[in-house]
Amino acid sequence: MSAEQASEAEVTVLVYSDDRTVREQIRFAMGTTLAADLPRVRVVEVATPRAVIAAMDAGGIDTVVLDGEAVPAGGMGICRQLKDEISHCPPVLLVVGRLDDAWLATWSRADAVVAHPVDPVSFPDSVAGLLRERLRNTPAPA
C-alpha cells in the first residue's frame, strides 16, 4: 500500500475492556496513525462480551484488542470463542496481566500478546504488525 493510499483508507480496531481507563490507555497508545504505511485507525470501544460479539457480527473489524483481565468475561475466553466461531477471524492482540500469563494466550489462540500496563512505544508496533498481516491476507475489493 502506498503512503497516499494509506492516508485515504481506514482500518478498524475493536478494543474490549470492562475498564474505561484500560480502553483509554489502548486508544491513546495507538493514536490515529500507527505507521506511515498503514491507513488511519478508527477505534471501536466496547465494554461487554455481548458488545464484542455484536461488533464482530456486524463486520468491518480489521484487528481486535482484548483485555485479558476484563470481567465478567476475560479476553482469553472471548478470543477463543472468536477464533472458534468466525471464519477468517481478524487477528487478536491479547493484553494480559503479566507476561508470565502469555502461555495462556496459546490456549486462546491469540495472534499476539502484550502485558499491562500498555507500553505506548511498543504497543503501536504490535498492533501495526497484526494490521499489516491482515491487510496482506485480505483480498482487495472488486
Give the model confidence (pLDDT) of 23-70 as tens digits. Answer: 999 999 999 999 999 999 999 999 999 999 999 999 999 999 999 999
Query: What's the pTM?
Result: 0.90
Report CA torsion sign: 31, 34, 35, 40: negative
pLDDT of residue 93: 97
| Closest among 35, 54, 36 to 44, alpha carbons compared | 54
Distances (CA, A) of 84 to 16, 79, 99: 18, 9, 24
Distances (CA, A) of 131 to 8, 63, 67: 16, 6, 18
Name the strand (E) or helix (H) holding 118: none
Q: Which three cell numbers stand for residue 59?
A: 463486520
Contact 112, 94 (CB under 8 A): yes
Q: CA-CA distance, 124 to 103, in Å (whole number)?
A: 22
Omega of the bond prior to 72 within 30 degrees of 0, cis? Answer: yes
Q: Where are the domains of the chain?
A: 3-137
Enter the CATH code of domain 3-137. Answer: 3.40.50.2300
Band the pLDDT of 139: cuts 50, 70, 90. low
Q: Is 12 helix (H, G, I), strand (E, B) or coil?
A: strand
Give pLDDT tens digits for 4-21.
Answer: 444 458 999 999 999 999
Give pLDDT tens digits for 86-101.
Answer: 999 999 999 998 877 7
